[in-house]
Structure 1
Amino acid sequence: MSNKKSYENIDPVTLGVIAGSFNSIAKEMALVLYRMAYSSIIRESEDLGAGLFDSDGNELCESDSTPMHIGSLPGYIKGVKHFLGNDINEGDIILHNNPYHGASHTPDLAIIIPIFYGGKLVGFAANTGHVLDVGGMSPGLMVDVVDVFAEGKHYNAVKLYDKGKKDEAMWRHVLENVRTPNENKGDIEAMIASAKLGQRRYLELIDRYGLDTVQATEKRWMDYSEEMLRKEIEKIPDGIYKAPTGWLDDDGRNYGEPLKIETSVEVRGSDIIVDLTGSSPQVETGYNVPYSGSTLPATYTIVRSILLDEANSEVFVPQNSGIFKPIEVVAPLGTIFNPKFPASCFARFNQINRLADQINLALAEVLPEKTTAGNSAHVSANSYAGVSPDTGAYWIYIEINEGSYGGRFGKDAMDSVDNLVANTRNNPIEELEMRTPMRCHRYELREEEPAAGQWRGGIGIAREWEFFTDTLFSGEGDRHFDAPKGVLGGADGQTGSLILNSNSQKEKNLHAKLTNFKINAGDTLLIKTPSAGGYGNPLERDPEQVLEDFKDGLIAKRTVKDVYGVILKSDLTIDEVATADYRNNSLK
């Protein structure tokens, strides 16, 4: 029997054209979704993912959006197969969101359309999007929730269309049990349009090139990604690399009781094993992480980002299931990264961003030029909700506030930007003020100095809201106590904070995690997100960069000398001789 692989006879041009078409299709699917969506979290923040998958659920391509959405979709498809078995038919449109069967978490709905060709299942077009509400105990977001059933409605591979026929009763059930039926309806219909486009484009490829050629390209494209990642892993010396112990603030109910994150990364030939043994046991709130839908995609994303950064790669390496194969994740059952049913796992994003940062810090020792200092590694996801006195309908707004990257070899960090495994955009303030009874008084970089280093840390944001009506606030935040770590002599960053009625007699510091906290009309809320860590010894920073930071108002004059060892003349130019002497003495 021949061992020749199916794709070896495909000419390189055809291979490249079909592979390029996969990526274009995923991007086009995402464009349709966020342009048609009703809710701002999808339409403006682009909290979504879209792509094509083979008949086994392997990812073929993904959109340039939130990696947690698209990376979890193979798990969604596995969950759909668990519930439906062989009852997957041409014309089906399937809705799924069970976090114990592949979903990234309950509000991330997926629409999955099976693709048939010649009566045979050949793949799936699928997407996910974070909807405003799924009918749980709290509007929008929640942390302090008793179990997974209290999170909201679970759609276990339900068919909105069965063999092409719309199930009107199921649609009513889906939309009549949430607080935002109009927005959810618009979002789901946008997701269906996006998946139908992917289905159509995939079938067009098959019609043009033939099923055998397209499927052979899929295998080659996944094998290629796996080969390229394995080559990078093999460059790392075998060994076990351990990150400093990380601490999450608390579980959103038992305040003051931090949760441990232990992370080691073992390199064994062309394999990487990320071991989370020793991390906190699962908690009694929703502050747990779905293993398949969130722990795995977060790990895959950060490993690929470190080793195959597109900005530094000489060749394009596609993101698909081939990337997943060299990576193993050990997360003992019953811990926060792999909870036992029926524990809630609604509020999972801060943990997986910290997981990504822990892997980054573990590899900093052996890959100093590919990793960063400690990142903000949090998601200050907040929801605001109330009932309109005019219509009696709920209004809900969900925002994801930006963080900051840690300093990196050769470059200062990026300020005020989503980072690591998050990839959402900010919402325009003007639109939010038109649609919600809130007004933004501040939205700017934090005033505190960035973390010092040869390359400085990134700066988080300060955002202050005023509320015109009584509002229910739920905050899914963290990092009010454990600052982002500096590396190689760089300084640690700044922790975040939530302050109610800042600079008034009613000022009150709030916990990072709150569920259904009542904010009264006239109150203000000041959100500060963490600033990241610095990279390298500050005394080795280019004096000209130090002077620029001072002129830009990022650092005080005393910091110029006391931290960076730069001596300024009376005309605010650099005294190069005095600076060299001062730094040499300080480094001794």
Structure 2
Amino acid sequence: MQTPSNKPPVDPITLQVISGALYTIAEEMGHVLYRMSFSSIIRESQDIGAGLFDLDFNTMTESEGSPLHIGSIPGYLRGISKCLQGGSWNEGDVVIHNHPYYGASHSPDLCIVVPIFWRGKLVAYAANTAHHVDIGAATPGLIIDVPDVFAEGMLFAGIKLYEKGQRNEGLWQFISHNSRTAKQTKDDIDAQIASAQLGARRFQELLDSYGSETIFGASEQLMSYTESLMRARIREIPDGEYFAEGFLDDDGRNRDKRLPIKVCVRVTGDSVEVDLTGSADQVATAFNVPFEGSTKPACYCAFRAMLTDSALMDVKMPPNEGSFRPIKVTAPLGSIFNPIYPAAAEARFTQCNRMIDLIIRALSPVLPQRTTAGNSATLSFAAYSGLQKDGDYWVFLEVNEGAYGGRPCSDGPDSIDNLMANTRNNPIEDLGMHLPMICDRYELRDDVMPGAGQFRGGIGVVKTQRMLTDGFVTHESERHHDIPWGAFGGTEGAVGKVEIFDARGHVEPTYAKFSNLAVAAGGGMSYYAPCGGGYGDPLDRPAEKVAEDVLDEFCTPERARETYGVVLDADLQVDDPATRTLRAAMREQHKQSAALSSS
């Protein structure tokens, strides 16, 4: 817990004004970043984070970005403190950083940091991160099957892109010649710089208005307030150890080797520990997770999502460091969640999502009203690339949607981002205008059904992208084998799948993860996201809702009868008497089966 401050408390009205001002600065930083960027992964998907940070690297405020970006920036700053070029900050400096063994989330997420000086003294930092299209790795856009971190592309460790206001032209030229999408990369970096510099100016204006003592006193109070809210929520969980486990398909190279994930959530009073001991050892590909920059922020995200959902709170929780403080994360060195240098660690997202899903599962018995059934809990991150007529590369990064499991009071959302990504979809109109690709199909899956329950699981997306020129595809995904679980009597969801097709229409199933697969013009990839598990007994789902699902083709009449106990007539209307009779019989059968299994 934070040590009490000696600063006098800021009055409630001023505190609220400063809280709003800090949050507005972070939001403005985020808006400038994605509106000024050129690559679709930033401009459309908004795969970014931005915020203000004090000299102890505490998050003072954060934008509405990806939780993994926001929670990781303190790790970047701690890493920069160990390798900062020249060892000290100057006014006018701009640092670029992405080294996964110095706190970065993973190498494509470039962080830009601007020191904030006020009256000649360093007082804070404005920083942001954004996922870049290509940083010169072994394959365009994304990379999975590589031997070490050096194959991931350009690594920047505390490097000053600007020093005392002067740009390092040698470094700028170096970036020009080490990215397949150099212009986009540099333009997006410029957007990050503008965003961070704006944040610095706005914070200086805030200091001019209220003074240093009031602003930092208010920041400490706000962090303590957020911490107290988080601890109060943790105290609602009974003390104890809660376990869950699952597995990952493979590491992108060794296809028959499943990788275990084991989660122990240890609750003690108003603190919690996530212990990942027993999870897979680090692997020989880039399918590892940087501990400081990704593993820890993923755990923070899990508890913020479960415990501080604004729909379940009377007050809005200020977004700052306080939400992280009650949470400890343990992962053995040399494991997939805490790899040893120089192991590659670029393809680190699906493991984080699966770990969050298991935290939710572990706590379901004691937090039934704040958890879900099994979610898709993966990520479809695809990189399409090829050569233009002038010999330059085009590269397109796409984050595809998944689905959530059923929830305590509602069905799982269909075709929605996966747990902690918080990215937007890329409009297919934008795709067609800028790249030699066409989206042939973009809709809900109709080849499988989601988990049944009082609240059904969400339905995953299917997206088919066709390339108009010869090119390459790299894909990072998961969950072709480990089925999303059902909760409290709900049934399992459905796993995902990926298919590659050619111009003649020949279709071949493939693995969830593959690197730099050559695809001829007219061919492409179809991605089918997993569907969520069901929540609660299917026999408790209102018969009218089951009938609506049948009319929407989310459920067949046969499944309605066999799983939900709902009988429909020839016009697909509910036969009430027959339904009541069938459900009574099914409940009795379930009761007898439970009695036999317990004896």
TM-score (norm 2): 0.96
Question: Is the 8 Å Cα contact of residues 7 and 219 (structure 1) preserved in structure 2?
Answer: no
Q: Give me the whole-angstrom Cα distance separating, in 2, the residues matched to 1:33 and 1:427.
A: 17
After superposition, residues 405-554 of structure 1 pair within 5 angstroms as 405-447=404-446, 448-501=448-501, 506-554=506-554
Alpha-carbon shift at residue 87 of structure 1 (Å): 1.3
After superposition, residues 282-293 of structure 1 pair within 5 angstroms as 282-293=282-293
Q: Give me the whole-angstrom Cα distance separating, in 2, the residues matched to 1:346 and 1:326.
A: 28
Over residues 448-467 of structure 1, what are the superposed CA-to-partner deviations in whole Å (9 max), with x where a residue is unaligned? 22211110000111111222
Question: Is the 8 Å Cα contact of residues 502 and 520 (structure 2) preserved in structure 1?
Answer: no
Aligned to 1:203: 204
After superposition, residues 268-417 of structure 1 pair within 5 angstroms as 268-389=268-389, 391-417=390-416
Question: Is the 8 Å Cα contact of residues 221 and 318 (structure 1) preserved in structure 2?
Answer: yes
Alpha-carbon shift at residue 4 of structure 1 (Å): 7.5
Alpha-carbon shift at residue 9 of structure 1 (Å): 3.3
Q: Give me the whole-angstrom Cα distance separating, in 2, the residues matched to 1:175 and 1:60.
A: 34
Q: Say yes or no: does 1:134 pair with 2:135.
A: yes
Aligned to 2:578: 578
The 10-residue stretch of structure 1 (473-482 or 287-296) with the greater mean CA deviation from structure 2: 473-482
Return closer, same or farther for 1:449/1:117 CA change in 2, 3 Å cut-off. Answer: same
Aligned to 2:594: none
Over residues 193-227 of structure 1, what are the superposed CA-to-partner deviations in whole Å (9 max), with x where a residue is unaligned? 00011001100110000100000011001101111
Question: Is the 8 Å Cα contact of residues 7 and 217 (structure 1) preserved in structure 2?
Answer: no
SS class of match (1:263): strand
Q: Give me the whole-angstrom Cα distance separating, in 2, the residues matched to 1:570 and 1:252.
A: 49
The 10-residue stretch of structure 1 (303-312 or 452-461) with the greater mean CA deviation from structure 2: 303-312
Return closer, same or farther for 1:502/1:582 CA change in 2, 3 Å cut-off. Answer: farther
Q: Give me the whole-angstrom Cα distance separating, in 2, the residues matched to 1:53 and 1:423.
A: 22
**What's the % identity of the aligned pairs?**
49
Q: Give me the whole-angstrom Cα distance separating, in 2, the residues matched to 1:504 and 1:240.
A: 55
- Aligned amino acid, residue 427 of structure 1: N
4+ residue runs over 6 A deviation:
502-505
Aligned to 2:593: none
Question: Is the 8 Å Cα contact of residues 6 and 216 (structure 1) preserved in structure 2?
Answer: no
Q: Give me the whole-angstrom Cα distance separating, in 2, the residues matched to 1:435 and 1:9.
A: 54
Q: Give me the whole-angstrom Cα distance separating, in 2, the residues matched to 1:564 and 1:148.
A: 50
Over residues 248-290 of structure 1, what are the superposed CA-to-partner deviations in whole Å (9 max), with x where a residue is unaligned? 0000000121100000101101110111000000000000000
Q: Give me the whole-angstrom Cα distance separating, in 2, the residues matched to 1:198 and 1:192.
A: 10
Question: Is the 8 Å Cα contact of residues 467 and 522 (structure 1) preserved in structure 2?
Answer: yes
Aligned to 1:77: 77
The count of residues paired between Structure 1 and Structure 2 equals 584
SS class of match (1:156): coil
- Aligned amino acid, residue 72 of structure 1: S
Q: Give me the whole-angstrom Cα distance separating, in 2, the residues matched to 1:425 and 1:526.
A: 19
Q: Give me the whole-angstrom Cα distance separating, in 2, the residues matched to 1:4 and 1:537.
A: 48
Aligned to 2:229: 228
Q: Give me the whole-angstrom Cα distance separating, in 2, the residues matched to 1:64 and 1:210.
A: 27
- Aligned amino acid, residue 556 of structure 1: T
Question: Is the 8 Å Cα contact of residues 449 and 493 (structure 2) preserved in structure 1?
Answer: no
The 10-residue stretch of structure 1 (577-586 or 41-50) with the greater mean CA deviation from structure 2: 577-586
Question: Is the 8 Å Cα contact of residues 502 and 519 (structure 2) preserved in structure 1?
Answer: no
- Aligned amino acid, residue 329 of structure 2: V
Return closer, same or farther for 1:8/1:430 CA change in 2, 3 Å cut-off. Answer: same
Aligned to 2:118: 117
Q: Give me the whole-angstrom Cα distance separating, in 2, the residues matched to 1:527 and 1:4.
A: 51
Q: Give me the whole-angstrom Cα distance separating, in 2, the residues matched to 1:166 and 1:251.
A: 40
SS class of match (2:173): helix
SS class of match (1:311): helix
Alpha-carbon shift at residue 174 of structure 1 (Å): 2.2
Question: Is the 8 Å Cα contact of residues 502 and 526 (structure 1) preserved in structure 2?
Answer: no
Over residues 165-192 of structure 1, what are the superposed CA-to-partner deviations in whole Å (9 max), with x where a residue is unaligned? 2211121112221111100111000000
Q: Say yes or no: does 1:145 pair with 2:146.
A: yes
Over residues 96-141 of structure 1, what are the superposed CA-to-partner deviations in whole Å (9 max), with x where a residue is unaligned? 0000111100000000001111222110000000011111111100
Q: Give me the whole-angstrom Cα distance separating, in 2, the residues matched to 1:30 and 1:267.
A: 35
CA RMSD of aligned residues (A): 1.4
Q: Give me the whole-angstrom Cα distance separating, in 2, the residues matched to 1:262 and 1:141.
A: 27
Alpha-carbon shift at residue 537 of structure 1 (Å): 1.2
- Aligned amino acid, residue 480 of structure 1: H
Alpha-carbon shift at residue 503 of structure 1 (Å): 11
SS class of match (2:395): strand
SS class of match (2:247): strand
Q: Which runs of 5+ in 2 are unaligned?
A: 589-599
- Aligned amino acid, residue 114 of structure 2: I
Alpha-carbon shift at residue 506 of structure 1 (Å): 2.9
SS class of match (1:262): strand
Return closer, same or farther for 1:490/1:4 CA change in 2, 3 Å cut-off. Answer: closer
Q: Give me the whole-angstrom Cα distance separating, in 1, the residues matched to 2:426 and 2:130.
A: 16
Q: Give me the whole-angstrom Cα distance separating, in 2, the residues matched to 1:135 and 1:278.
A: 34
Q: Give me the whole-angstrom Cα distance separating, in 2, the residues matched to 1:252 and 1:294.
A: 19
- Aligned amino acid, residue 148 of structure 1: V
Alpha-carbon shift at residue 501 of structure 1 (Å): 1.8
Alpha-carbon shift at residue 160 of structure 1 (Å): 1.1
- Aligned amino acid, residue 221 of structure 1: L
- Aligned amino acid, residue 150 of structure 1: A
Question: Is the 8 Å Cα contact of residues 7 and 213 (structure 2) preserved in structure 1?
Answer: no
Over residues 312-345 of structure 1, what are the superposed CA-to-partner deviations in whole Å (9 max), with x where a residue is unaligned? 2110112211111110111000000000000000
Q: Say yes or no: does 1:162 pair with 2:163.
A: yes
Question: Is the 8 Å Cα contact of residues 7 and 220 (structure 1) preserved in structure 2?
Answer: no
The 10-residue stretch of structure 1 (85-94 or 154-163) with the greater mean CA deviation from structure 2: 85-94
- Aligned amino acid, residue 128 of structure 2: N
Q: Give me the whole-angstrom Cα distance separating, in 1, the residues matched to 2:552 and 2:8.
A: 57
Aligned to 2:592: none
